[in-house]
A and B are shown apart, each in its own frame.
Chain A
């Protein structure tokens, strides 16, 4: 049971993120929801590759024993980098939207400018 806690955390993060995206009215909070989902997925990937008592797969002269899988970590790294780019783009959109409409409320934006 105790080993499944990361998976529950993954599900919780993704659901909280989806809730924020679907029900929050503030654009910044929607973006936070997306980053929460992203953290959940990244945590899932990392958890998949981890084995109890394993060392990080970066040593040439490892202390022995098992190592965690390097591939999910490489995938997570790629995903984090992409996530940063998306986050930056979304925030710059929000800045522009705020300049046009002087609000971040989704109900008030999108009208004629």
Chain B
């Protein structure tokens, strides 16, 4: 048995096993448990990198893993007989590998950060168990090639995250935020299950590739598309379904919020998978004409998403302006960043299927790369800001902007990290946010100049929001109660430094990232034939 053949299964199995071993190890010693959890998270991260390396060097750029049977035999029998699949498959293509890198990096940094950040709390065995369960669920969502499996992993992630959002059980608002999250998640998950049932009834299959190959885009498929986009959009906080996000992000411990960003992005991955892979064949189908426009399904979907994207950006930015709580403010900026990604992906759909712009290929590729790059950058930028907010809370036990001030005197490293996060999140060069946002501005300008104007203006507003925060938290006179504030422990600084390092690296060398990570993911998204033919043979 070669361990390299089983990487897709191990990526999910290691954190899952680690999660349930954590309470046992915790019986021995707290320090040993922390080391064990960091080891498990690090191992998962390493396995994901090995898997990604395999995927990127694979000639087809896709790896299929069959549970409970030999992969080669299964694929051969499917190619010969074309029988419907009952087995659970993992299909890892460029996009899955790219998302899995994000999904394994965030928990690793979060558990390192938790060492000091959560030290004074009890119930940490359960806390670490849930963090690892969240990781397993998130990675499962990103790697699976089976719709029902996707639903199961989605529920695992939701339950673990909801319990973690309500970690501060002594605060009523945290409990309300957790309740809100679990209600939203379970409604969303049930809609997804309904859509899966509709697919199963029509095509007798649960495998994404098989459904994508057979899909007819009839009335029932349209209902399923609406259900899937609505449910996954709700979970990835598209306005007007964003209201759970500021509560959840704002009330959870900062380290949990950091991993929650990953679960939100995993739902966004689901949206992409549904739009581009599952319905990929139908998007270009001819629709009715409206003047010179041909209303293809892809164009209609893009037009709908672009409206949602603009609303999401506006809601996020303008609500962020009036917040007085630091974490809620960052959470609203996170909503706006989701809007930017959505803007990029809707620009891809419009330019590919609207057929109005002259250089479709270039525009759609630029938009796609910008959007995918921004997924990674959002996780890093917003994540860093939340870690800084957590550090401020750790040092002062305060998150309200009115009660903070003059922290730069005592917390100089945290101040530097906040500045890095500030510039990155508002898209200033030379940080990574600039590298991806410039791609989004460029491509949306080709689709419609107004879109890029809105995007740039809202970026400036995000900068304004954070400059205000920077001034009121770090500069100005010291509050009397904050005289004795000390810099946070070194291990928290270390985890913030890791993220800052990646941010600066991505900002200085965006080409390296785009060529090695983003391009395979973009290729996997635009060409769903590879995904289908890896299961069903050449079609």
Q: Which residues of A contact B (CB under 8 A)?
A: 14, 21, 27, 30, 34, 37-38, 41, 44-45, 48, 71-72, 75, 78-79, 82, 85-86, 89-90, 93-94, 96-97, 100-101, 109-113
B159 lies within 8 A of A89 (CB): yes
B200 lies within 8 A of A110 (CB): no
Cβ of A73 to closest chain B Cβ, rounded Å: 12
Q: Using Cβ atoms and an 8 Å threshold, which residues of chain A touch B162?
A: 89, 93
Q: Mark B129-172, 1 if CB is under 8 A from A, else 0.
A: 00000000000000000001000100100110011001001011
Interface residues of B in 174-204 (CB under 8 A from A): 175-176, 178-179, 182-183, 186-187, 189-190, 193-194, 196-197, 200-201
A96 lies within 8 A of B152 (CB): no
Q: Using Cβ atoms and an 8 Å threshold, which residues of chain A touch B187?
A: 21, 34, 37
Cβ of B49 to closest chain A Cβ, rounded Å: 31
Known interface pairs A71-B86, A71-B200; A100-B175 also in contact (CB < 8 Å): yes
A41 lies within 8 A of B197 (CB): yes
B200 lies within 8 A of A34 (CB): no
Cβ of A63 to closest chain B Cβ, rounded Å: 24
Known interface pairs A89-B162, A96-B166; A34-B172 also in contact (CB < 8 Å): no
Q: Using Cβ atoms and an 8 Å threshold, which residues of chain B touch A85?
A: 155, 159
B169 lies within 8 A of A96 (CB): yes
A89 to B182, CA, bound (A): 8
B159 lies within 8 A of A97 (CB): no
**Smallest Cβ-Cβ distance to B166: which chain A residue:** A93
Known interface pairs A44-B194, A86-B159, A89-B162; A34-B183 also in contact (CB < 8 Å): yes
**Smallest Cβ-Cβ distance to B165: which chain A residue:** A93
Q: B403 near A: Cβ within 8 Å?
A: no
Query: Total number of A-B contacts with CB less than 8 angstroms?
Result: 84
**Smallest Cβ-Cβ distance to A88: which chain B residue:** B159
Q: Using Cβ atoms and an 8 Å threshold, which residues of chain A touch B176?
A: 97, 109-110
Q: Using Cβ atoms and an 8 Å threshold, which residues of chain A touch B155?
A: 82, 85-86
Q: Using Cβ atoms and an 8 Å threshold, which residues of chain A touch B163?
A: 89
A97 to B172, CA, bound (A): 6
Please pick, from A14, A93, A101, the residue contacting B178 in the complex, using a CB distance under 8 A. Answer: A93
B197 lies within 8 A of A44 (CB): yes
Q: Using Cβ atoms and an 8 Å threshold, which residues of chain B touch A34?
A: 183, 186-187, 190
17 contacts between A and B (CB under 8 A): A30-B183, A34-B190, A41-B194, A44-B197, A45-B193, A48-B197, A48-B201, A71-B86, A72-B200, A86-B159, A86-B186, A93-B162, A94-B179, A96-B172, A110-B173, A112-B173, A113-B173
B175 lies within 8 A of A96 (CB): yes
B193 lies within 8 A of A41 (CB): yes
Cβ of B221 to closest chain A Cβ, rounded Å: 16
> What 7 additional pairs, Cβ within 8 angstroms, besides A27-B179, A89-B182, A110-B176?
A45-B197, A75-B197, A86-B182, A93-B175, A94-B179, A96-B172, A113-B172
A75 lies within 8 A of B183 (CB): no
Q: Using Cβ atoms and an 8 Å threshold, which residues of chain B touch A113?
A: 171-173
**Smallest Cβ-Cβ distance to B179: which chain A residue:** A93
Q: Using Cβ atoms and an 8 Å threshold, which residues of chain A touch B189?
A: 82
Closest 10 CB pairs of A and B: A100-B172, A113-B172, A93-B179, A96-B175, A82-B155, A48-B201, A110-B176, A86-B186, A97-B175, A37-B190
A85 to B201, CA, bound (A): 27
Q: Using Cβ atoms and an 8 Å threshold, which residues of chain B touch A96?
A: 166, 169, 172, 175
Interface residues of B in 43-74 (CB under 8 A from A): none
A96 to B152, CA, bound (A): 27
Q: Using Cβ atoms and an 8 Å threshold, which residues of chain B touch A82?
A: 152, 155, 189
A97 to B183, CA, bound (A): 14
A44 to B220, CA, bound (A): 14
**Smallest Cβ-Cβ distance to B202: which chain A residue:** A48
Cβ of A22 to closest chain B Cβ, rounded Å: 10
Q: Using Cβ atoms and an 8 Å threshold, which residues of chain A touch B183?
A: 21, 30, 34, 90
B179 lies within 8 A of A90 (CB): yes
Cβ of A14 to closest chain B Cβ, rounded Å: 8
A90 to B86, CA, bound (A): 32
B86 lies within 8 A of A101 (CB): no
Best-surrounded residue of A41, A45, A93, A94 (most CB of chain B within 10 A): A93
**Smallest Cβ-Cβ distance to A48: which chain B residue:** B201
B190 lies within 8 A of A41 (CB): yes
A110 to B182, CA, bound (A): 16
Q: Using Cβ atoms and an 8 Å threshold, which residues of chain A touch B86?
A: 71
Q: Using Cβ atoms and an 8 Å threshold, which residues of chain B touch A86?
A: 155, 158-159, 182, 186
Q: Using Cβ atoms and an 8 Å threshold, which residues of chain B touch A44?
A: 194, 197
Q: Mark B25-58, 1 if CB is under 8 A from A, else 0.
A: 0000000000000000000000000000000000
A98 to B168, CA, bound (A): 15
Interface residues of B in 85-101 (CB under 8 A from A): 86
Please pick, from A38, A75, A94, the residue contacting B148 in the complex, using a CB distance under 8 A. Answer: A75
A80 to B51, CA, bound (A): 33
Cβ of B337 to closest chain A Cβ, rounded Å: 25
A86 to B200, CA, bound (A): 24
A71 to B173, CA, bound (A): 41
A38 to B169, CA, bound (A): 28
Cβ of A96 to closest chain B Cβ, rounded Å: 5
**Smallest Cβ-Cβ distance to B178: which chain A residue:** A93
Best-surrounded residue of B162, B176, B182 (most CB of chain A within 10 A): B176
Q: Using Cβ atoms and an 8 Å threshold, which residues of chain B touch A94?
A: 179
Q: Mark B269-307, 1 if CB is under 8 A from A, else 0.
A: 000000000000000000000000000000000000000
